[in-house]
């Protein structure tokens, strides 16, 4: 018997398989970003709300996934079955207090979770990109996997958080004891040079959905 929980779990596995959150999958499919949100899966009256066949069809088309694979995901199989859950936060929320320690490691409450394949770093976390400020490197709804423990070299793409709460994704141009020089991923935004004292943490981007 097909259950409500199985179908929604398959939607979540489909999103993870594509390197997206549930809202990212909805955007990729041309749907309202909240279509697959957990808050939409139960009505205000407490009844189960199922995803429509149209929304599933659009999600499958957007991720180039066959119905046969989706059936495997319903049954708990497919590539996402071996995925590991990592903390997930919206990029816009990353500047708020309580989500990271001073070393840039994820802490506290309020994190969502996303199943993600091939992530071996126990401290890795995911950020969901919002807006167009990081295009063409990262698009709205993309997921980036970040490692606060990975070594960082010139040319690496990184997430930087300043002491005043600003969070940005850039390319590391140069790093000295006093300065951190960053190249913008979007030509419409300027490069940045920050005092090392003003940077709370800097973490390497390991992977991004495309």
Residue 193 host element (H or E): strand 192-195
How many residues does this entry show for the chain?
210
Judge if 177 and 115 occupy the same domain.
yes
Mean pLDDT taken over the chain? 87
Average pLDDT over residues 89-108: 86
Judge if 25 and 126 occupy the same domain.
no
More confident residue, 6 or 18: 6
Judge if 94 and 162 occupy the same domain.
yes
Rg (CA), the chain: 18
What is the model's pLDDT at position 156?
94
Instruction: Name 115's bridge partners.
Output: 85
Judge if 54 and 122 occupy the same domain.
no
What is the model's pLDDT at position 209?
75
What is the model's pLDDT at position 194?
97
> Which of 26, 55, 82 delimits the end of a domain?
82
> Which of 82, 114, 133 delimits the end of a domain?
82
Domain carrying residue 128 = 84-208
Total count of domains within the chain: 2
Judge if 14 and 88 occupy the same domain.
no
**What is the tens place of the pLDDT at every residue in 123-165?**
889 999 988 888 888 888 888 999 998 889 999 999 999 998 8
């Amino acid at each position: 018997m097909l259950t409500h929980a199985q179908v929604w779990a398959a939607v979540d596995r489909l999103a993870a398989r594509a390197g997206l959150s549930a809202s990212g999958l909805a955007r990729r499919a041309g749907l309202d970003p909240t279509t697959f949100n957990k808050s939409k899966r139960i009505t205000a009256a407490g009844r189960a709300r199922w995803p429509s066949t149209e929304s599933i069809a659009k999600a499958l088309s957007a991720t180039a996934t066959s119905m046969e694979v989706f059936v495997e995901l319903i049954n708990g199989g497919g590539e996402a079955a071996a995925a590991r859950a990592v903390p997930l936060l919206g990029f816009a929320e990353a500047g708020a207090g309580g989500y990271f320690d001073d070393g840039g490691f994820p802490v506290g409450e309020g994190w969502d979770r996303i199943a993600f394949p091939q992530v071996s770093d126990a401290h890795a976390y995911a950020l969901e990109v919002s807006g167009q400020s990081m295009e063409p490197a990262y698009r709205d709804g993309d997921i980036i996997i970040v490692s606060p423990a990975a070594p960082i070299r010139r040319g690496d793409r990184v997430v930087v958080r300043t002491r005043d709460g600003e969070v940005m994704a850039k390319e590391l141009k140069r790093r000295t004891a006093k300065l951190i020089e960053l190249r913008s991923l979007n030509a419409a935004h300027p490069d940045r040079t920050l005092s090392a004292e003003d940077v709370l943490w800097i973490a390497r981007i390991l992977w991004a959905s495309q």
